[in-house]
């Protein structure tokens, strides 16, 4: 009987160690495994580096939230889906590991860190993209002209890599479709229009500004509902 108890205990211990090792493996992946994983549907890919680092080189399709900017990181990741996997990376894997721990504490079901970060990703010959530094910025005068191209112009300062901006896409699409020709939507790339945003005192993404015959009448920073947008144009 004693031998039987010992055997059962050893089997239990073996299973426990196996499960723990599996959980640990799933929390971090090397470049090859990470690349395959992010090709799945419903995956959220998050770059936890600064905006400058992101513009220099990033994995295509990734969102961005600077782990070193506490307010920005908390604000942007609040708009991620906790039920969907989140794959995170930084430059060497350190910042994103801390960010991953934070996200798990906040209730995200699966968070996976890229071991070695972008440094390991590039060493492995994996693809990366960069923003075009020569991309033309809109002057303030050009912007003023654009805000007068219709009686009501709704300006959206957002970016493809901004989580709350992505969350606003279906809301904006539904709103614009419903309004037809009554409201013109003007999308401005918040990752590129740095000087213009400074002139307009746009400090975060997304920011929405409504112009009536070329004059600013409404402004809001953050996400909005379709009902709130509709109230702006009544």
DSSP bridge pairs for 112: 87
Tokens standing for 192? 């590129």
62-66 LR contacts (CB < 8 Å, sep 24+): 62/89, 62/161, 63/161, 63/162, 63/163, 63/166, 64/161, 64/162, 65/163
Three-state secondary-structure class, residue 42: coil
Cα distance from N-terminal residue to C-terminal residue, the chain: 81
User: Is 165 noted as a catalytic residue in this protein?
Assistant: yes
Do the Cβ atoms of 212 and 152 come closer than 8 Å?
yes
Q: For the chain, how are helix, strand and coil distributed in percent, rounded to 5?
A: 45, 20, 35
Report CA torsion sign: 80, 82, 84, 86.
Answer: positive
Of the residues 86, 154, 162, 209, only one is catalytic, namely 162
Tokens standing for 148? 């007068």
Of the residues 165, 196, 202, 224, only one is catalytic, namely 165
Total Cβ atoms within 10 A of residue 194: 13
Do the Cβ atoms of 178 and 234 come closer than 8 Å?
no
Q: Which residues are marked as active site?
A: 162, 165
């Amino acid at each position: 009987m004693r031998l039987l108890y010992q055997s059962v205990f050893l089997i239990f211990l073996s299973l426990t160690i196996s499960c723990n090792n599996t959980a640990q493996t799933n929390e971090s992946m090397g470049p090859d495994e990470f690349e395959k994983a992010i090709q799945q549907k419903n995956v959220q890919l998050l770059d936890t580096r600064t905006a400058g680092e992101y513009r220099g080189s990033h994995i295509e399709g990734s969102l961005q939230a600077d782990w070193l900017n506490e307010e920005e990181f908390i604000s942007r990741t609040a708009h991620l889906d906790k039920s969907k996997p989140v794959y995170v990376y930084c430059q060497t894997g350190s910042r994103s590991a801390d960010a991953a721990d934070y996200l798990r504490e906040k209730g995200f079901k699966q968070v996976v860190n890229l071991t070695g970060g972008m440094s390991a990703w590039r060493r492995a010959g994996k693809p990366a993209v960069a923003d075009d530094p020569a991309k033309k910025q809109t002057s303030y005068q050009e912007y003023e002209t654009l805000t007068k191209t219709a009686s009501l112009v709704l300006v959206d300062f957002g970016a493809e890599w901004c989580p709350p901006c992505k969350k606003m896409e279906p809301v904006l699409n539904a709103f614009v479709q419903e309004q037809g020709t009554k409201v013109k939507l003007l999308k401005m790339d918040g990752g590129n229009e740095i000087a213009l945003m400074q002139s307009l005192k746009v400090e975060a993404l997304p920011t929405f500004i409504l112009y009536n015959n070329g004059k600013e009448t409404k402004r809001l920073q953050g996400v909005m509902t379709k009902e709130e947008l509709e109230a702006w144009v009544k």
